[in-house]
Amino acid sequence: MPVREAIRVAVVGATGYTGAELLRYLARHPHVRLTAATSEQSAGKAIAEVYPSLRGKVDLRLFAFDAAQVADHAEVAFVGLPHGAAAAAVVALLERGLRVVDLSADFRFRDADEYARWYQPHPAPQLLAEAVYGLTEYHREGVAGARLVAVPGCYPTGALLGVLPLLEDRLVDPASIVIDAKSGVTGAGRTVAAEYLFAEVDDNFRAYKIGTHRHTPEIEQEIRCHAGGTHPVTFVPHLLPIRRGILTTLHLRPGDGVDAAAIGNSYRRRYEGERFIVLSGDRPPEIRDVVGTNDCAIGWTVDRRSGRAVVVTVIDNLGKGAAGQAIQNFNVMMGLPEASGIDQLALVP
């Protein structure tokens, strides 16, 4: 490996769960020097005061976001702010010449109107054409030269990696897509609300936002982009009593004569050589297979009796669903080996 100077990197919004996971990965990234971390609530504190597990490992003092100050320290910024706030920060950072990996929803949509329907009027629509949707396996070339990458939402990542090959290969009916997804609690970030208290979540399970979750249009956009046509999906998210991980069960209507072997071939062809896609065949993958990693594992079955295909994918929502995929995109963007800093093994058990 040729000696290469470390890239100076900042994390904007470092104390949320996604921010913490970015720090965990970046602090051990072989080509990165972590130089700045911002937080509005904890400005002035050492990061180890907020995350004691970083004591002696990450020695940074948090400051309130200031684009100029970030630009003094870093060439690339990861932005882990809520939507809306993210766009403002991104604009300011790009103006100062940084390259940006944004983890919010702000730059995931090609169409400002679609964003407006589900979120709010878009604060920086002029950037939408430039931003690259960072589902790396599908937009790697765009990411390579990008100034701004939008990291996909966690649910869309888990759903799209499972469904897109089958749609591209016309193996399943695009009008038949049912996405029954189950997520760990950190998918909601570090939101301090009664519904996320331990005593409300432990030994409990529930569906929420049936048909109304904001990740729905993001999924449909990419289906349109990769398979053509407009196909509303049924998307039902559920809240699991676990910290990390999303398991997505896709219920699909296969075309005539499409069997499990055909589906397997489609995945193998599409994902050959992909470092972070694990094909597990007819063994449905489990969430713990991927916790702490950037992997997406995929299993599939065709139910002979009902004729439906059932695809199961798992990701770590903070890994491939957020911080891991952000760094994967960063690596591609900067010409680094794609697995740099994110080739860890799952923490099992």
CB 292 within 8 A of CB 346: yes
Select the span of 124-132, 155-163, 261-269, 296-304 touching a second copy (CB under 8 A).
Answer: 296-304
Select the span of 93-101, 111-119, 329-337, 341-349 touching a second copy (CB under 8 A).
Answer: 341-349
State in angstroms the smallest separation of the CB of 129 from a second copy: 26
State in angstroms the smallest separation of the CB of 216 from a second copy: 7
Q: Is 154 a catalytic residue?
A: yes
State in angstroms the smallest separation of the CB of 175 from a second copy: 9
State in angstroms the smallest separation of the CB of 18 from a second copy: 11
DSSP state of 339: T
Our CB check for a second copy shows the closer of 228 and 307 to be: 307
State in angstroms the smallest separation of the CB of 181 from a second copy: 10
Backbone phi, psi, residue 102, to 5°? -105, 130
CA 62 – CA 89 distance, rounded (Å): 16
Our CB check for a second copy shows the closer of 165 and 292 to be: 292
Our CB check for a second copy shows the closer of 53 and 265 to be: 53
Our CB check for a second copy shows the closer of 69 and 344 to be: 344
Site membership for a second copy, residue 40 (CB under 8 A): no
Select the span of 31-39, 140-148, 238-246, 264-272 touching a second copy (CB under 8 A).
Answer: 238-246
Residues 161-220 within binding reach of a second copy (CB under 8 A): 178, 180, 182, 184-186, 190, 192-194, 196-208, 210-211, 216
Say how many Å lie between the first and final Cα of the chain, rounded.
33
Mask for 6-35, x = binds a second copy (CB under 8 A): -----------x--x---x--xx-------
Q: Which of 154, 291, 326, 333 is catalytic?
A: 154
Our CB check for a second copy shows the closer of 89 and 278 to be: 278
Kind of pairing, strands 148-150 and 178-183? Answer: unpaired
Site membership for a second copy, residue 234 (CB under 8 A): yes
The single-letter code of the amino acid at 45 is: K
Residues 55-94 within binding reach of a second copy (CB under 8 A): 55-58
CB 308 within 8 A of CB 253: yes
Residues 247-286 within binding reach of a second copy (CB under 8 A): 247, 249, 251, 278, 280, 283-286
Site membership for a second copy, residue 301 (CB under 8 A): yes
Determine the 3-state secondary structure of 68 from DSSP. Answer: helix
Our CB check for a second copy shows the closer of 6 and 348 to be: 348
- Choosing from 297, 315, 323, 336, the residue that interacts with a second copy (CB under 8 A) is 297
Tokens standing for 300?
């599939």
State in angstroms the smallest separation of the CB of 232 from a second copy: 4
Using alpha carbons only, what angle is made at residue 178 by residues 242 and 203, rounded to the nearest 5 degrees? 20
Who's near 28: CB < 8 A, 6+ residues apart? 341
Residues 310-329 within binding reach of a second copy (CB under 8 A): 310, 312
Number of residues that bind a second copy (CB under 8 A): 83
**Which whole-number Å values give the CA distances from 180 to 154, 164, 177, 317, in the listed order?**
14, 16, 10, 16
Tokens standing for 181?
């997804």
CA 220 – CA 227 distance, rounded (Å): 10
Determine the 3-state secondary structure of 163 from DSSP. Answer: helix
Tokens standing for 109?
């949509």
Maximum separation of any 2 CA atoms in the chain, in Å: 63
CB 244 within 8 A of CB 318: yes
HEC readout, 89-133: HHHHHHHCCCEEEECCCCCCCCCHHHHHHHCCCCCCHHHCCCCEE
State in angstroms the smallest separation of the CB of 68 from a second copy: 30
- Supply the residues annotated as catalytic: 154
